[in-house]
Amino acid sequence: MTIQWSALDSRGVGAGLAPWAVAVGLGCLLACGGGPGGQAAVSPTGAIEGLQAKFVDVDGVRTRYYDYGQGEPIVLVHGGGMGGASTANNWSRNIPGLATRFRVIAVDRLAQGMTDNPKDDQDFSNEGTVKHLYRFIETLQLGQIHLVGHSSGGAIAFYLTAAHPEIVKTLTVVAHGPAMPPAGEGPTKFAAILEKCPPDPTSYEHRKCRLLALAHTEATFSEEYAAADEYMGNLPKSVEGRKRMDAMRAAHPGWPNEQNDAYRTQAWEKARSGALQMPILLCGGKQDTLSWDADDPHSMMRGELGFFDIVGARNPRVKLTVINEAGHFPYREHPEEFNATLTGFIDFWNSHQ
């Protein structure tokens, strides 16, 4: 099977091909046996773009991560949901550049990628993910870190910072992770795109489609990336994890949303009290459909601005930056620009402590 992409302009934006069409094309390319010999080659560790993955035991949970460079540690936390469709591979385009200045660690979150499922079903939650990430940082003996989280990983980074502010030197949240209290009132432009995905939101196929549909450009995710994502999302432990979560939802209506909402509320209360006094960088993509209400002619970025208002009310060291021609993955779509922004932010506050 052959799929032809439309031409890209100077910033990598597709000429006339919608993001959801790219998602469907990539998904079909893999499912239909695209790539040399009918299928794309995948590393047994899920690594891509020449990176080498490592594994470490974190309280009995085998955890996959990348570890490159020397200097102050930066921990990169990807987004997505448990069971697949988002891993440390999200940061593959940022790791080499950042590693020229820092020790860069990108980790598969609990029950995602090739990191094991939790031992306790109750840890299929944001609180369980934060606990695992904190113990991962302790296991590697990283000390104080620069913490960077994307989307739901930005929520995890925010929650970890609220729980353990003493270990976070700077916090960066990309594409607004923790939902605002209260959550948005109406649908976003992404809702229409999501209708083109498989209907079952708990299936891996839906999650993969959702991930790829959030791409702003045709180049956001390569075939190699998508093949590795497919591989990791269909591992036995990933299938088992989704079955365990389905069983928990069936046995406990409202799980895990009620637990996650209560945990989020605690973090926002700490932020409002002024507990987060480290420098905080918020980064958004101007064309992120998740930040764009369906009825608005322009993206208003209400989530990012709401986050800024809450944390900035008690902390003067908060900055918001917006990258143009970028969707939900501005760091992948413009890696050099994102790396320079992050590095400059860290350097500035290192010299103004």
Q: Dump pLDDT digits (tens) for 208-259.
A: 788 778 889 888 999 899 899 989 988 999 999 999 999 999 999 999 999 9
Rounded to whole angstroms, how far apart are CA atoms 288 and 105? 26
**pLDDT value at residue 23:** 36
What pLDDT is stored for residue 131 in this prediction? 98
Specify if 271 maps to a domain: yes
Asked, for residue 324, whether it belongs to a domain, the answer is yes
Identify which has the larger pLDDT, 297 or 281.
Answer: 281
In a domain, 155, yes or no: yes
Question: What is the distance between the alpha carbons of residues 173 and 232, in angstroms, rounded to a whole number?
Answer: 25
How many angstroms separate the CA atoms of 28 and 145, rounded? 40
- What end-to-end distance do the CA atoms of the chain give, in Å? 56
Residue entry with tokens 């320079």? 340
The answer to whether the bond into 256 is cis (omega within 30° of 0) is: yes
Q: Which domain holds residue 34?
A: 19-350
Tell whether omega for the bond before 182 is within 30 degrees of 0, i.e. cis.
yes
pLDDT tens, 93-141? Answer: 999 999 999 999 999 999 999 999 999 999 999 999 999 999 999 999 9
In a domain, 98, yes or no: yes
- Whether 12 is in a domain gets the answer no
Tell whether 7 is covered by a domain: no
Statement: residue 37 has pLDDT above 60: no
Per the domain annotation, does 111 fall within a domain? yes
Within-domain flag for 338: yes
Instruction: Give the least confident one: 17-21, 58-62, 105-109, 122-126.
Output: 17-21
318 DSSP β-pair partners = 280
CATH number for the domain spanning 71: value is 3.40.50.1820
Average pLDDT over residues 40-68: 96
Cβ-count burial 254-266 (b if 16+ within 10 Å, e if not): ebbeebbeebbee
Count of domains observed in the chain: 1
The Cα angle at residue 328 between residues 245 and 113, in degrees rounded to 5: 40
Instruction: Please determine, for residue 32, whether its predicted confidence score (pLDDT) is greater than 80.
Output: no
